[in-house]
Structure 1
Amino acid sequence: MIKTVIFDMDGVIVDTEPVHRYAYFQHFDELKIPVTEELFTTFTGNSTKNVFQSLKDRFGLTGEVEDLVQRKRAIFNDAFDFKEDLFLLAGVEDLIKDLHQNGIQLILASSASKVTIERVFRRFHLHQYFSHIVSGEDFPQSKPNPAIFVHAASLSEAPIAECIIIEDSKNGVTAAKAAGIYCVGYNSEHSKLQDISHADLIINHFNELDAQKVKQLT
């Protein structure tokens, strides 16, 4: 029986991707680097640090990675604070509350920075539901490397066989499977061009899940 659900955040709980996208492309313009849509799509599920390390290698950027990261985050934070149309994705708050009320442990494992996670959790009052929060900035490699999910599962009160992961990106699904954890792929309208076909179960809306259904997933 499933006792722990590990959530990704961007594209699963909240869609901050438009804000991230705005910040990234504003920064790309400042840096005068030609990042295509195809290249940008491959970064989904990666930490900001690893995105800029990749871009530094590809385009020969001279700035320090940490400085590049901080500039992008500054643009993001300014946009986040003024963006009023930022909402939890349809149905996810009801699912989170239902899982919590039925004794299922919730853990967040997101590639987002701790600062971004804290902004989202504080804005939408999510701390009360999650026992642990894991940020990708604490790991040298991003998804599809499974390290973040292996660590999240180690925080579970249940064995790994009684955990599931909810993801919306190709890199996230790949990381979940590499960690040996059952993966629910959320086919989000906000996560375009993502191949989640390797997920164990694919859903199109969170109303397809509830605590009783989740407990029976294997």
Structure 2
Amino acid sequence: MENKPNTPVLIFDMDGTLIDSNPAHKLAYTEFLKRHGIELTDADFIDYISGRMNPDVIKHFFGDDTDAERIQELTKEKETLFQDIYGPQIKAIDGLMPFLNSVREAGFLMVLATSAPMMNVRFVFDHLPIEQFFVTIISEQDVEVGKPDPTVFRRAAERVMAQPADCLVFEDSQAGVQAAHEAGMKVIVLTTTHTADELGDAELAIGDFTQVSVAHLRQIMQPAA
């Protein structure tokens, strides 16, 4: 889509950023891997799952030679389990809806850029009225390699014809923060999954969206003198 030059763009991760879904993902992955005789440790979840795409996760646990058809089968199995666990308790991160309304009114463009498959994006949109805010969506199917590779964020910027300097990323994972920095973008981190110290360098760390405002965004995104 065509974008006015220098229009500020907010790029949002989904899991752990818009919704506090990572505990449910961890439960789902624990049960899913257990069914296949694999034990999931806390370290495994942080190092090999958090913020990453399902094909990368599955190849790590099931082998690099796992073919595309098998990856698709295993992805569907795991995500169906996740949706069964999380569906009854799904809710937005506190303050999300008022925040999205305020930044849209202030003229920011918003893009969803997630490692999740589109079936999970649609699952979230079916439960929460947030699809209306995003001008475009980048999901697992739109990139060949996942975070910490910066492709997902670069593709999000390209989709709205924006420069990295005009983009601000909201993330909750170490892989996502690294990807945003490598894409040349500033980052606000949500401490839903990790502490601010664990997430590393960021412009701002927040617990939820009641702790950030349009004024914060404008201050963070203003060009350096």
Query: TM-score with structure 1 length normalisation?
Result: 0.88
Which of 14, 29, 33 aligns to 2:38? It is 33
1:138 positional shift:
2.5
Q: Which amino acid aligns with 1:78?
A: D
SS at match of 1:89: coil
Range that drifts further, 63-72 or 85-94: 63-72
SS at match of 1:64: helix
In the alignment, what sits opposite 2:27? Answer: 22
Q: Deviations over 1:127-180 (max 9, x none)?
A: 111101110233222110000000001123543211100111110000000000
In the alignment, what sits opposite 2:3? Answer: none
RMSD: 2.2
Pick closer, same or farther for the CA change 1:210–1:77 going to 2, 3 Å.
same
Does residue 59 of structure 2 align to residue 53 of structure 1? yes
Does residue 159 of structure 2 align to residue 155 of structure 1? yes
Q: Deviations over 1:164-198 (max 9, x none)?
A: 0011111000000000011111222xx03672122
Gaps of 5+ in 2: 1-5
Which of 185, 188, 194 aligns to 2:189? It is 185
In the alignment, what sits opposite 1:69? Answer: 75
SS at match of 1:40: helix
1:1-218 superposed matches below 5 A: 3-42=8-47, 43-57=49-63, 64-81=70-87, 83=88, 85-188=89-192, 191-192=193-194, 195-218=198-221
Gaps of 5+ in 1: none
Partner Cα separation in structure 1 for residue 177 and residue 15 of structure 2:
14
Q: Deviations over 1:41-66 (max 9, x none)?
A: 111000112110111128x9899222
Residues 41 and 193 in structure 1, CA contact (< 8 A), matched pair in contact too:
no
Pick closer, same or farther for the CA change 1:97–1:157 going to 2, 3 Å.
farther
